[in-house]
Amino acid sequence: MVKISYLDQDGTRTDLDADEGTNLMELAVRGGVTTIEGECGGALACATCHVYIPEEWRAVTGEASEDEREMLEFGVDVDDRSRLCCQIRVTAEMDGLVVLTPVSQR
């Protein structure tokens, strides 16, 4: 199991156990993280799974694809940390990752 945490801007933290291979949107929705909707089911068509990945974790989570970057243009409060978390699959190296959710998704 890999420990992943989601931290909302109001300080609400949800700690979840993840199986390798699941994506961070599915994990959040199943785990009751209400600030991540995942409206399109991970089809890269909605941007309701927008999160911030802290700088120190970006090498582990990887960079956004061209298609993901294009969809992020429809997001709100997008910055250099932004990712669509349906596109990030859990690996063992992500143990301890804290995913931040943007204010706009409160």
Among 24, 51, 53, 86, binds ligand FES (CB under 6 A): 86
Q: Within 30-49, which residues bind ligand FES (CB under 6 A)? A: 38-40, 42, 44-49
Judged by CB, which is closer to ligand FES: 1, or 8?
Answer: 8
Residue 74, helix vs strand vs coil: coil
d(CA 86, CA 17): 17
Least spacing, CB of residue 37 vs ligand FES, in Å:
7
User: Which residues, in sequence order, are bridge partners of residue 18?
Assistant: 2
Residues near 25 by beta carbon (within 8 Å), at least 6 away in sequence:
36, 38, 42, 49, 84, 85, 86
Binding positions for ligand FES, rule: CB under 6 A: 25, 38-40, 42, 44-49, 71, 84, 86
